[in-house]
A and B are shown apart, each in its own frame.
Chain A
């Protein structure tokens, strides 16, 4: 287990270095940097521009910049914003709570609804109920989250002349206002996850329901409710947990659009604004931070898997 853990962590570190390299290379491949953009507006001379570039370290070769960045990143310094001059870490951390609340609520809604729908569909497999639920699940998977949000907004605006408050207030400051503002984004972000969870639950439930141990349990005379909820569902939840971990990436990506639409001051909005401003340090740091979060979740899930299933731990192929 120790060897396995170390190997996974090693892969994680390698992947993170690769992520950093890719991000830097892409940033470099696209023409025009922050300095030339800023100075275009001010109309500064070339010497001034060069001086500014030297100050930000933009005149170094890519690999030097990369090395500097990695060096300070390890020490917890992700650079400073070109615009506000604040450390990126501070900017980011100030906005984390909003996005985390949003994401967790969305995933909670998605997984609870998804599990319910999936179990019902699996139990009634082949019937009309199953067909309708499947259709609904695919439908929810098909309407992009920003379209869901847009449609809900449209409907509410037309029929009730209601729109969510524009100024964000934290849940501790003004709970009612916060709830009004957050409920549509949560539902919009949650529906995609719900559909994905429902589909996976359905297929893995079907698989366990057809297995020998379920037949044994049934033969023992256990009540159908217990068979489904205790024996079959429990074995299906591992797959669902994995999916949820990965759903995190989707939700984080979704927040970029949704936070922008609803004026929620989360990390998604920070990234969007930074991209528009070509605020390189912020974009780089946020991208790598998101990637790191993702890699970390994956490793955690892998380890969890290995803990549950010794076959993985000992390096044997599962399938």
Chain B
């Protein structure tokens, strides 16, 4: 796949040794940095709420990574003389029924959420997108078969099987990740497939095919880059969903195993002492909600930002990214909302409507 892309490449590469075909000249790195910064700036300007969400997420990630440094105490150390104490100077958000510092547990809880969220989202994004792209690009029988399986996975009430797996295998972070990933893959598959079906019909894909590019090259160079905006937007929303699912499982006592600091676990442990120590409920509830909130808000803002159709009535569209990026992204941006909304709609509605015409 090292064939020369355009005639300009040849000119610039000059007398390259024949064994090594000329590589297309890469833009200098500083340009890339500047481009990212510029697109970030336009995003911040157009979507102040999204920018705030981004800030919160950065904070969340920082706190999660630096948890041992930020937390005032060890999250599982039990201060037996300080049980169910209200917030004080030593224990800023009080202690729980075993004398553990609630603030420290909440901070380390961010870590648990982040680990599960990142792993689950990344794996299911990669696998789901790959399945969707292949299914959408090759179509026909393969597509039909893959999509029925995906429909089936999506139809299964995830929580029931998650419960079952956790009960039988015992609660553990690893099992939670495996089980969640399995049920999230179809969401990415759906959006990736819909995007592929659309991009596949674009003239530039036709052109690439005419120049003799093979399927892997077309998929990698033309189809994938053109659908990433939608996939990442969904990724942000899915991340929020994973955090919720993890806490729900932990709340039922089948997510992260007990001494692990997890928000869901803190909630379920706190229920018994609601009247005596409401902070046991309020602290993890707020932490959980803010984390989920910021990912949802970011996804929302991205969706609004990247969909030109929704901007039409307000102000003239400003360039969102550098010019080169815009030419790459623009085709995939149209109709973003529908497709993302459609991914929330497994097997049905508009998802079905975007099936390729038969024969």
Contact = CB atoms under 8 A, between A and B. Distances in A.
A96 to B, nearest CB: 15
A135 interface: yes
Given A22-B156, A23-B161, A316-B357, A301 B310 contact: no
A142 B288 CA distance: 9
B345 A30 contact: no
B49 A278 contact: no
A141 interface: yes
B21 interface: no
B348 A302 contact: yes
A315 B152 contact: no
Interface string A222-255: 0000000000000000010011011001001100
B160 A143 contact: no
B274 A210 contact: no
Contacts of B27: none
B353 A305 contact: yes
Given A153-B274, A242-B348, A275 B164 contact: yes
Given A15-B155, A210-B312, A317-B356, A143 B292 contact: yes
Contacts of B354: 317-319
A11 B309 CA distance: 34
Contact of A302 (B163, B297, B352): B352
Contact of A19 (B152, B248, B348, B356): B152
B77 to A, nearest CB: 26
Interface in A264-293: 271-272, 275-276, 278, 283, 286-287, 290-292
Q: Is the interface of B mostly helix, strand, loop or mixed?
A: helix
A318 B288 CA distance: 39
Contacts of B288: 143-144, 147
Contacts of A187: none
Contacts of A157: 274-275
Contacts of A200: 341
A257 interface: yes
Given A158-B275, A260-B252, A319-B335, A147 B345 contact: no
| Interface residues on chain A, size class | 35 or more
A302 B348 CA distance: 6
A26 B161 contact: yes
A287 B357 contact: no
A124 interface: no
Q: Which among A207, A275, A287, A302 has the highest number of chain B CB atoms within 10 Å?
A: A275
Contacts of B274: 153-154, 157-158
B160 A290 contact: yes
Q: Is the interface of A mostly helix, strand, loop or mixed?
A: helix
Contacts of A186: none
Interface in B118-174: 148-149, 151-153, 155-161, 163-165, 167-169
Given A125-B314, A131-B49, A203 B341 contact: yes
Contact of A319 (B300, B312, B314, B350): B350
Contacts of A141: 296
Given A256-B160, A257-B159, 14 more contacts: A141-B296, A143-B285, A154-B278, A210-B309, A239-B341, A257-B251, A272-B252, A287-B161, A291-B156, A294-B155, A295-B151, A316-B357, A317-B355, A317-B357
- Which 3 A/B pairs are nearest by Cβ-Cβ distance? A18-B152, A242-B349, A142-B293
Interface of A: 11, 14-16, 18-19, 21-23, 26-27, 30-32, 125-126, 131, 134-135, 138-139, 141-144, 146-147, 150-151, 153-154, 157-158, 196, 199-200, 203, 206-207, 209-210, 239, 242-243, 245-246, 249, 252-253, 256-257, 260, 271-272, 275-276, 278, 283, 286-287, 290-292, 294-295, 297-298, 301-302, 305, 309, 311-312, 315-319
19 contacts: A15-B155, A16-B155, A18-B149, A22-B156, A23-B161, A125-B314, A142-B293, A142-B296, A146-B267, A151-B285, A271-B160, A287-B156, A290-B160, A291-B156, A294-B157, A312-B353, A317-B355, A318-B350, A319-B338
Interface of B: 49, 148-149, 151-153, 155-161, 163-165, 167-169, 194, 197-198, 240, 244, 247-248, 251-252, 267, 271, 274-275, 278, 281-282, 285, 288-289, 292-293, 296-297, 300, 309-310, 312-314, 335, 337-339, 341, 344-350, 352-358
